Amino acid sequence: MAGFELAAQYALEREQFGSPIASFQLVQEKLATMLAELTQIQLLTTRMAELQEQDQLTQAMASLVKMTTARTALAICRQARDMMGGNGLLLEHHVARHLTDMEVVSTYEGTDSIQALIVGRDITGISAFTRKTGG
């Protein structure tokens, strides 16, 4: 959310060719996409919390939501950093910090790949975590 909010504020303040970059079509499309993705994250996590309260949340469901939301949040932060150009890397704008935070979130409690393996096991019924080898 912070990445989106920082990018939106920056787009309103940063001027290029005599206009705020928020007036450019590509910037508005990026902001709209970021907001749609952010809303998707909020809806997924809200539904996950509802399922948890009803004691219906499975490990595979939680992994699917974690994998999806971490990937999406990382993409939002990358888009925010990109929209801000070199300023997106400066500490004073905080976007690089949020981008790094999302890299950490996608790693702890099981990497993105591990979350995908948990979901894949649920889909196929086959665990790809370990393989028996002959010998």
**Overall domain count for the chain:** 1
Residue 120 lies in a domain: yes
| CATH number of the domain where residue 54 is located | 1.20.140.10
Residue 51 lies in a domain: yes
Within the chain, strands assigned E span 15-16, 19-20
Start-to-end CA distance of the chain, whole Å, equals 52
Residue 132 lies in a domain: no
Residue 46 lies in a domain: yes
Cβ atoms within 10 A of the Cβ of 6, count? 20
Residue 135 lies in a domain: no
- Of the candidates 5, 29, 50, 109, the residue annotated as catalytic is 109
Residue 131 lies in a domain: no
Instruction: Give catalytic status of residue 109 as yes or no.
Output: yes
Structural domain harbouring 56 = 2-124
Tens-binned pLDDT, residue by residue, of the chain (135 aa): 888 999 999 999 999 999 999 999 999 999 999 999 999 999 999 999 999 999 999 999 999 999 999 889 989 988 988 888 767 665 666 777 777 777 777 777 667 788 889 999 999 998 888 766 555
